[in-house]
Amino acid sequence: MAVPIPSADTIPVAWGWFQFLLLLTFPLHLLAMNAMFGGLAVGVVLQFKNDQVSNRLAHRVAVMLPLVIAFVVNLGVAPLLFLQVLYGHFIYTSSVLIGILWILVVPVLIIAYYGAYLYDFRFKTLGSAGKWVGLLVLILLPCIGYVFSSNMLLMALPERFVDYFQHRDGSMIVSGQATFLPRYLHMMTGAVAVGSLFVALLGRFRAARDRELAEYAERVGMRTFFVMTLINVIFGTWYLLSLDREEMMLFMGADPAATACFVVALLMVVFILVMSFKKRLVATLCGIVVLVYLMSFLRSWLRSALLSDYFNLGQLTVVPQYSSMIFFFACLAGGLVCVGWLIVKTAGTLASEQ
């Protein structure tokens, strides 16, 4: 049976704009997601250790958790929107194929989010029960990651779309695919690594009030980051080797730009390992931001390669509506001014409190 590929809708401006916006916003979502999941993972482990300073640090993580979740969701909206504009005919199809899991994301996220508020607002009154609430949220969040990984993988595997006829109810599972497990583990291990940097950063923000906490956070955070990044190098290699030879060779000379990006990313991995070993928080943070962007570019290259037999972005038809894009950028500028003002006023208020 021929692979059913839906026809694409027209786009209002050249596809490069959407690709730019997608690659700009997706890493921000990833960084926030990493802070959420990895931060909570470290926080819950600390709470299980149950000494005073660990508990204080776990409390700081709990306080930040609902705020971080809000931004994970928010920063996830933009890339999902731009992804749907560029690859809608693939992502809508794959979403239907795993429809049951896909819609379950909503109730699971609501439960996890309310759990996070409970963990924050009742941290002290919950006492030792709090860590179990944290653990529940910690278990729910990677379930959502599992569904997202499944969908993002399936959308780039159109040859599996014919399985629809055995799964009209949206019950398809793709985690048996060879690339799924290394891809998922690479993503989640990276999240724990970056999340532990977030914990270190939280401690530093608290340094003026609680020096012991700050030093402890930085020690725990940097050490966890170093170890998890080393482990993730193994998962990353496994992921690379799990790809078909044609896709793997993209990053090994077949495509010069992709290869160059891959080499720079590898150098950046070495850089952050060295910086984290030396306990240089800011340098490690800067390095990880650059690395997450580079990894997102590599991911985009891989998706284009996987879909190349069926589609390339140049096939999208443009029906120009540039005024709507100007309107968006004007709103974005205004929005950033508002957020900037809020940050300044918040910082001023918090500074006057100390």
Partner 1 sequence: MNYPVWYLPEIGGGLLIAVIAVLHVFVSHFAVGGGLYLIYAEKKGLRESSQAILDFTRQHARFFLLLTMVFGSISGVGIWFIIALVNPAATSLLIHLFVFGWAAEWVFFVVEISAAFVYFYLFGKMDSATHLKVGWIYFISAWLSLFLINGIICFMLTPGAWLENAGFWSGFFNPSFWPSLVFRTCIAVMLAGVYGYLSASFTTDESVRTAMTKFSARWSLAALVGAVPSGIWYVLALPEPAKALVLGKSPTIVSAGQWGAGAAIVVLAITLVVGFMRPAVNTRATACVAMIGALVLLGAFEWTREAARRPYAVNEVVYSNMIFKKDLDSINRDGYLHKALWVENREITPDNRVEAGRELFIQQCYACHTLGGVNNDLKALTAQMSHNALVSYIGKIHQIRYFMPPFAGTDQEAAALAAYIASGLHGKELVAAADQGAADPGLELFESHCASCHDSADLAPATEAMNRQEIVETLASLDEISDEMVPFDGSDEEAEQLASYLYFLSERDDAPAAAIDAEALFESECSACHAVEDMGELVSGWEKSEIFEALGKLDELNDEMTPFTGSDEEKEALSGYLHNLGRDN
CB 326, min distance to partner 1, A: 9
Considering the rule CB under 8 A, would residue 168 count as an interface residue with partner 1? yes
Considering the rule CB under 8 A, would residue 325 count as an interface residue with partner 1? yes
The Cα 160–Cα 4 span in angstroms is 10
The identity of residue 288, as a single letter, is: I
Residue among 9, 159, 244, 309 that touches partner 1 (CB under 8 A): 9
Q: Would you give the end-to-end CA distance of the chain in angstroms?
A: 69
The identity of residue 128, as a single letter, is: S
The Cα 22–Cα 354 span in angstroms is 40
Report whether 86 contacts 15 (CB < 8 A): yes
Considering the rule CB under 8 A, would residue 157 count as an interface residue with partner 1? no
CB 309, min distance to partner 1, A: 17
Considering the rule CB under 8 A, would residue 124 count as an interface residue with partner 1? no
Residue among 36, 97, 101, 188 that touches partner 1 (CB under 8 A): 97
The Cα 352–Cα 130 span in angstroms is 31
Q: In sequence order, what are the beta bridge partners of 318?
A: 11
Residue among 20, 50, 106, 211 that touches partner 1 (CB under 8 A): 106
Q: Is 135 left (phi over 0), alpha (psi -120 to 50) or beta?
A: alpha
**Ordered DSSP codes for 147-167:** HHHHHHHHHT-GGGGGGGGG-
CA dihedral 81, 262, 273, 236 (to 10 degrees): 70
Considering the rule CB under 8 A, would residue 311 count as an interface residue with partner 1? no
Cβ-based burial of 217 (10 A; exposed 0-12, middle 13-18, buried ≥19) = buried
CB 135, min distance to partner 1, A: 19
CB 164, min distance to partner 1, A: 5
Residue among 51, 125, 169, 245 that touches partner 1 (CB under 8 A): 169
Report whether 12 contacts 325 (CB < 8 A): yes
The Cα 263–Cα 277 span in angstroms is 21
Considering the rule CB under 8 A, would residue 209 count as an interface residue with partner 1? no
Indicate the residue among 237 and 346 with the shorter CB distance to partner 1. Answer: 346
Considering the rule CB under 8 A, would residue 88 count as an interface residue with partner 1? yes
Considering the rule CB under 8 A, would residue 205 count as an interface residue with partner 1? no
Considering the rule CB under 8 A, would residue 175 count as an interface residue with partner 1? no
Residue among 128, 175, 315, 321 that touches partner 1 (CB under 8 A): 321
The Cα 293–Cα 166 span in angstroms is 38
The Cα 239–Cα 353 span in angstroms is 48
- Using CB under 8 A, which of the segments 40-48, 132-140, 195-203, 331-339 binds partner 1? 331-339
Considering the rule CB under 8 A, would residue 119 count as an interface residue with partner 1? no
Interface residues for partner 1 in 335-354 (CB under 8 A)?
335, 338-339, 341-342, 345-346, 349, 353
Report whether 118 contacts 136 (CB < 8 A): no
Residues in contact with partner 1 by CB under 8 A are 4-7, 9-12, 18, 21, 66-67, 70-71, 73-74, 77-78, 81-82, 84-85, 88-89, 92-93, 95-97, 99, 102-103, 105-106, 109-110, 113-114, 117, 161, 164-165, 168-170, 319, 321, 323-325, 327-328, 331-332, 334-335, 338-339, 341-342, 345-346, 349, 353
